[in-house]
Structures are given as C-alpha cells and as structure tokens.
Amino acid sequence: MGAFLDKPKTDKHNEHGVGNGLHYGLASMQGWRIEMEDAHCAVANLPGELKDWAFFGVFDGHAGATVSSHCSANLLNCITSGEEFKAKALVNTESENEQKLIEIVKKGIHAGFLRLDESMRQMPEVVTGGDKSGTTAVCALISPKYMFVANCGDSRGVLNRKGGIGFSTHDHKPINPGEQERIQNAGGTVMIQRVNGSLAVSRALGDYEYKNVEGKGPCEQLVSPEPEIFVESRQEEDEFLVLACDGVWDVMSNEDLCAFIRSRLLLTHDLENITNQVVDTCLFKGSRDNMSIVLIVLPGAPKVSEEALKKEQELELFLEKKVQELCDTETQIGMPHIMQSLSGETIPGLPPGGGLPAKRGYIETVFKRIRPEWAKAENLDDIGDGLDHLVCVPSAAMRDTLSSLLDN
C-alpha cells in the first residue's frame, strides 16, 4: 500500500500531568502510516526562575522521525538558554512595561527556533545527506499572565474560551500568498500546492535541501524555519488549549474539535481518555496520517456534569437498542453494515463535532457482546466502519484476513 499499512496501528502513547494550575493529557497514534514520525513535549513546571511557566509542543515529522524527535527534546532548551531569557524582566510579572516583557519572550522564541534549525545542520546524518527529514512544530509557552503560541508549518494550536474559539494559529501552506511569494523569490515554484511539487508545507524545521539558496537568509529560503508567534492574555474565560498535528485537523475543524473536547470534559476528568477519544474519532472519520494531540486544561474549563452524564447514558442505551435490533433482524451482519445503517438514523445526543464516529468504539463493544462469534471472524481491527468518508482496508487484504481466520 505504498506509504500506508494494510491496517492501522491503534496502540497509543499517553501522558498526563499537573502543574501551575494546568492539567494536561496527550495521546499519539501511528494510524495507517508505515512509520510514526510525530513527537511531543510536555513540561508543566519549567526549572529555575521560570518555575511558574509551562511548555508544550507537538512536532509532525516527514521523510523520517530524526528531526521531529530532536526538536521535541531540544526546542525548549534552545528557547530558554538564549540571551533573551536571561533578562530579569522575564520573571518580574509585575513589570510596569508589560509590552517589553512580551517582546522579549517573542524574540527569545523566534531566536530559539532559528538556533535549533541551524544547529541541526551539523548532525552527522544531515551532513552526510543520509537524513533529509523535517518537521512542523506548534508549541505553547505559558506564563501566569500570557500564552505564547508559536507555529511553524501546518500543526495547529487553538484556544477555546467560554462561548467559542479564542484564537487559532495559521497553517503555513505553499499556496498562501505570502508564502508563495517567498518561495518564488528564492527561485522555487508552487506546483500541486507543494514547494517545487514535493513538500506540502512552506515552513518547517529541518528539510535542508530546501534551505541552500545563496544570498538568502534563513527566513527567505524555499522553506523557512521562522515561527509565527501569537500572544494571548490569559482570561478567566479560558477553558483549554489544544495543540495537534494535521492528522487531527485534516478531518476535524477548529470548531468541531473544541466542541467535541468540551463535551467530553463534561463527562470525565481523565484527559488521557479524552485525547484517546479524539484520535480514535479522527481515525474513524478517515484520517490516514499519524495523529498527536496535547490538551492543556485551564482553570476555567467546564466541570463534570450529572446532566451530561445522564444524556450520555441515554445515548448509549439508544445505540445498544439499535444494534440489538439490527442483530435480531440479520443473521449475518458486520460492523460496516451496522455503522451504515446507524448513519441513516436520526440519533439524538451524538457528541458535537464527533458525531457517530465518536461512538464507534462503544458500538463495536456492544456488537462483540451480542455476536462474539461473528465479531471474532470479522476481525474488527482490520475492517472499517462502513461510513462513506472512511477509507477501508482493500478488499483483497480483507479477504485474505477473513480466509486466514476461518481456516484457523
């Protein structure tokens, strides 16, 4: 299947933690890709004088995992070890000149990205040409008063406030007018929405084969390592910040993802569970990429609600009844048929932003309980859910799997 597996790898890596009034959970999953190229970083309490600050990041690698892994381990240090972060104004949160503080931090983040990108040129595998990988990056440096969110590429950060989206970073794509102008000024072209017809992002760390134009500075190359930095004053209405790679955003809009997460926060305090639900839902919605998400929950986040729990229980009872009815009327039935049948129903109370794919795991559990022998034969891990927008396993692979299982 080229760059894809015959079936998705759905094992997840999870972390969670607490610090500085923040709670975070994260999940990453390889999915359909032949390699896991994503990486992440989560530090709820920075060391030393920045102990009241936190740092989180998601790094979406391409053409290998070397650069994404290196950036996840080193970007924070590259930012905080610079001269800019040695300024006393940084730890003086009562500074009379707040704007000066903001500019110092922005300058430090900008310089940290460029220092890291330049330093990676000296890695042996890069020098020899053996490694040509690159990575997008989205990170958040959170102080008691501000959020500094830096984006380089098409991973994205979104802040949800009471009432809706507070802000979102901007994806850096070659077709964006400003990005296209820089690419052309560096002697490149944008074809099929890609840099020189190849790379789908216009800003990234690494990707040094696109950064060798003589006479051009590091931020003037075909691919730029320059981050776009957003600054938001923290407010009581802030609920949560999401950092995620494009494997998530490809199938969920800002509004859909935030609505889905918010609805899950009304049901559980378990942030790992919520981020697992996000990547599973994205898989069932048709994402073919690696998926990584960091969820940072702020003090203003919604709390678990008895009313929401009751509605979720009612939804699951309704779904169980529908699955039982389908199994009672069909002697041979599988998950694709069940999901397709349910997709034509009017089902009250489906998770906002997630819809029926968000309950696919629960539906599968019910089906396995009702029809354990057929569920085993069908090998549910290999078969899609039957929704029109989900790319299923090729029929040949499905037949081989079924044949092998039945033989056994």
DSSP for 73-124?
Answer: HHHHHHHHTSGGGGSGGGG-TT-S-HHHHHHHHHHHHHHHHHHHHHHHTTSH
3-state secondary structure (DSSP) of residue 406: helix
Secondary structure E strands in 188-305: 190-191, 194-195, 205-206, 228-233, 238-244, 291-297
Phi and psi angles of residue 367, each rounded to the nearest 5 degrees, phi first: -60, -45
CA–CA gap between residue 393 and residue 401 (Å, rounded) = 10
Which H or E element spans position 318? helix 306-329
Residue 401: band (very low, low, confident or very high) from pLDDT cuts 50, 70, 90: very low
- Among the residue ranges 86-90, 175-179, 202-206, 391-395, the one predicted with the least confidence is 391-395
Contacts of 65 (CB under 8 A, 6+ apart): 35, 36, 37, 39, 133
- Do the beta carbons of residue 30 and residue 9 sit within 8 Å? yes
Tell me the average pLDDT across 231-243.
97
Tell me the average pLDDT across 361-365.
96
Q: Say what the pLDDT of residue 98 is.
A: 85
- Do the beta carbons of residue 239 and residue 53 sit within 8 Å? no
Q: Say what the pLDDT of residue 88 is.
A: 56
pLDDT at 384 over 80: no
pLDDT at 406 over 60: no
Residue 203: band (very low, low, confident or very high) from pLDDT cuts 50, 70, 90: very high
| CATH number of the structural domain 306-407 | 1.10.10.430
Q: Say what the pLDDT of residue 375 is.
A: 61
Tell me the average pLDDT across 205-220.
97
CATH superfamily of 4-297: PPM-type phosphatase domain (3.60.40.10)
Residue 91: band (very low, low, confident or very high) from pLDDT cuts 50, 70, 90: low
CA–CA gap between residue 77 and residue 82 (Å, rounded) = 8
pTM for this structure?
A: 0.90
Q: Give per-residue pLDDT as tens, 106-141.
A: 999 999 999 999 999 999 999 999 999 999 999 999
| CATH 1.10.10.430 placement within the chain | 306-407
pLDDT at 379 over 60: no
Q: Say what the pLDDT of residue 404 is.
A: 37
| CATH 3.60.40.10 placement within the chain | 4-297
Q: Say what the pLDDT of residue 84 is.
A: 83
Partnered with residue 9 across adjacent β-strands are 31
Closest CA to 335 of 390, 397, 282, 278: 390
pLDDT at 391 over 50: no
Closest CA to 205 of 227, 189, 231, 187: 227
Closest CA to 286 of 387, 201, 401, 361: 387
**Cα angle: 294, vertex 297, 299; to 5 degrees:** 160
Q: Give per-residue pLDDT as tens, 312-362.
A: 999 999 999 999 999 999 888 889 999 999 999 999 999 999 999 999 999
